[in-house]
Amino acid sequence: MLQSFVHYFLHFIAIAGIAWLYDYKNWKKYWLILLATMAVDLDHLVATPLFDPMRCGIGFHPLHTEIAILIYLFGSIFIKHKILRLIFIGLLFHMFTDFIDCLWMFSKCEECYLSSEIYKW
């Protein structure tokens, strides 16, 4: 229960803080943009099975791979366009949130860790 609360708190509430720090005058607009980066989870639709509560999405889903994460990192650092940079920051924070969720799951399930893509890295 606490794990789910933390996960969704980071995905929905913490990004309001990011938006406020990014530009406090326009934080609501930027919060909506950060919410839109949640669309990255559409890559879960190509997973088989579609939902597995014991699967770490990092490294498994196409837009959650190490290459994608590196692109998000470089975009958040090197892109100068304010909104595009924010999108990359949102995608990177999304991966961070999912990674925390994976670590939490791994602490309860060693087999989940051993069968994860993160373990293979």
Exposure string for 74-94, b = 16+ CB within 10 A, e = fewer: ebbeeeeeeeebbbbbbbbbb
The model's pTM is 0.94
State pLDDT tens for residues 4-50. Answer: 899 999 999 999 999 999 999 999 999 999 999 999 999 999 999 88
CA distance 60 to 47: 8
CA dihedral 69, 70, 72, 73 (to 10 degrees): 120
Helix, strand, coil fractions of the chain, as percent rounded to 5: 80, 0, 20
Radius of gyration (Cα) for the chain, nearest Å?
15
What the block records as the tokens of 6 is 């933390």
Distance in Å from the first CA to the final CA of the chain: 29
Quick one: pLDDT band at residue 53, thresholds 50, 70, 90?
confident
